[in-house]
């Protein structure tokens, strides 16, 4: 890619130079393709069985280290063409995409809602972590994306999932859930290493348009979770408007209903959440949120927050 073209392409990201540690390394990392990572699906096979089968077929891999069900494929270009994929033994999933379900403190037998679930990587991971017990409601507003979710949960042997199609902002208040995941639609800056075209759609109007949708989704989640229950909010973007400013808005709107909990995640580097942006002071507890930048762990980008509804 010519230097002038590349500089123009990356120009929307210059607004983050002050907040991203090692900004030059960050930009350099974006020029490189993402590693191929997959989640081993223990609903269909054990980790040992899958790894043994890969070794026998000459597939080179290395464990992610921080997550026993995640591996990096070293000599495979298209994991979706592998036998293990069609058997449901593995699921292609970007490394940081595996983080939000792990922060939900899932217990067997719980009632869990994934408010923006399609195409289902995180929803099926939730079912896996719950060992097909309890019940997972996987909701999305898009019919075409829900068809992909159904394909995935059938292939992966998920048995504890119901699929619904509602606008998450108006999901029915018929019951309350132990845990709610809001993996919100976003401007997708964190997937630049897979798709440079997302850079061309960026701009302040896009950030604020997404902000309004995201805060409405998170506000709905506060009514859908039980007292004492947990909400995990995540995006794959770097924009504070879609991350800290969304959480800050909901904290202030709901007053003392929620508290941000620190993350307990070993083996991955991340930066704390922002407590100031654009001259605006934000809630001090936003420091407990986490920002995963691509150059920290050779991944995509992720923002995540854990919110506990007070009893």
Q: Would you give the DSSP letter of residue 200?
A: G
The residue annotated as part of the active site, out of 186, 188, 236, 289, is 236
Q: Tokens for 14?
A: 């210059």
DSSP SS3 for 300? coil
HSE toward the beta carbon, residue 130, CA cutoff 13 A: 30
Cβ neighbors of 178 (< 8 A, separation 6 or more) are 107, 110, 111, 112, 225, 226, 229, 230
User: Is 116 a known active-site residue?
Assistant: no
Q: Report in angstroms the alpha-carbon separations of 76 from 38, 51, 65, 298.
A: 11, 14, 19, 17
70-73 β-sheet, strand order: 61-63, 70-73, 36-40, 90-92
Q: 7, 5, 13: which is closest to 294 by C-alpha?
A: 13
Cβ neighbors of 263 (< 8 A, separation 6 or more) are 103, 270, 288, 289, 290, 304, 306
Whole-angstrom distance, CA of residue 32 vs CA of residue 266 = 25
By DSSP bridging, strand 302-309 and strand 225-235 are antiparallel
DSSP SS3 for 7? helix
Q: List residues with catalytic annotation.
A: 236
């Amino acid at each position: 890619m010519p230097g002038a073209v590349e500089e123009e392409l990356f120009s929307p990201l210059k607004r983050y130079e002050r907040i991203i540690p090692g900004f030059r390394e960050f930009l350099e990392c974006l020029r490189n393709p993402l590693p191929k990572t997959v989640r081993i699906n223990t609903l269909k096979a054990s980790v040992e069985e899958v790894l043994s089968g890969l070794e026998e077929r000459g597939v080179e891999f290395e464990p992610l280290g921080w997550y026993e069900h995640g591996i990096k494929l070293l000599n495979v270009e298209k994991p979706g063409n592998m036998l293990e994929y069609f058997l449901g033994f593995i699921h292609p999933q970007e490394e940081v995409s595996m983080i939000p379900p792990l922060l939900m403190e899932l217990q067997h037998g719980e009632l869990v809602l994934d408010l923006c679930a399609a195409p289902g990587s995180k929803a099926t991971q939730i079912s896996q972590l719950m060992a097909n017990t309890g019940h997972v409601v996987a909701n999305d507003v898009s019919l075409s994306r829900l068809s992909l979710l159904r394909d995935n949960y059938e292939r992966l042997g998920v048995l504890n999932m119901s699929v619904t199609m509602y606008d998450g902002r108006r999901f029915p208040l018929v019951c309350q859930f132990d845990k709610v995941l809001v993996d919100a639609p976003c401007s997708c800056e964190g997937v630049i290493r897979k798709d440079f075209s997302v850079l061309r759609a960026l701009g302040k109007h896009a950030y604020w348009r997404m902000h309004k949708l995201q805060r409405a989704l998170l506000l709905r989640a506060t009514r859908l979770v039980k007292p004492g229950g947990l909400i995990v909010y995540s995006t794959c973007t770097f924009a504070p408007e879609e991350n800290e400013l969304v959480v800050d808005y909901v904290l202030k709107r709901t007053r003392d209903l929620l508290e941000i909990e620190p993350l307990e995640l070993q083996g991955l580097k991340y930066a704390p959440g922002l407590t100031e942006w654009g001259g605006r002071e934000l809630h001090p507890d936003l420091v407990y949120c986490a920002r995963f930048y691509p150059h920290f762990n050779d991944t995509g980008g992720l923002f995540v927050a854990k919110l506990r509804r007070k009893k």
